[in-house]
Amino acid sequence: MREDVVLRPGGPADLPALTDIYNHYVIETPITFDIEPFSVEGRRPWLEQFTDDGPHRLLVAEAPTGHLLGYASSHAFRYKPAYDTSIETTVYLAPSATGRGFGTRLYAALFEALRGQDLHRAYAGVAQPNPASMGLHEKLGFKQVALYHEVGRKFGRYWDVAWLERTLGD
């Protein structure tokens, strides 16, 4: 059953909910390698990198109640001019929204919004193990191109990160 949600660009009014979603993963999981939760103001610089019409986008999934269910984003892969046609993508869902297809819908909408941009590749780093995220990325055309062994330390142990890529453009 398809749930009635609105997929739309994220903006400043969404920042408290976006911060709450992200902080869940900071505090509870190794999915992100941030180790301290963010304040809303501390997360503002992250929000300010996104635009409504360029290669760096932020889309949110909003329930009919106005509650944010998650977000997908694209941002600079690396900050050197030769990387400008590459982006890194992410998707994060509220814990109550996982396993319901919102990640797929957000990512699909993000890639549709990016159509026509001067982009060649999208990359995603996935902390391991994370079969749900690996499955989502593979479903949307990503292929694993690298595995960094024990690249991050969180919760007193080392974690691997798989790097995936997807071709963009027409």
pLDDT digits (tens, 9 = 90+) for 129-165: 999 999 999 999 999 999 999 999 999 999 999 999 9
Which SS3 state, helix, strand or coil, does residue 51 take? coil
Residue 1 has pLDDT above 50, yes or no: no
Average pLDDT over residues 71-94: 96
CATH superfamily to which 6-167 belongs? Gcn5-related N-acetyltransferase (GNAT) (3.40.630.30)
**CA neighbor of 72 nearest in space, from 48, 88, 95, 96:** 88
* Residue 125 tokens, joined: 């780093």
pLDDT at position 4 is 86
Task: Output the CA angle 143-58-31, nearest 5 degrees.
Answer: 50
Mean pLDDT in residue range 1-24: 92
The total of other beta-carbon atoms located within 10 Å of residue 162's CB is: 20
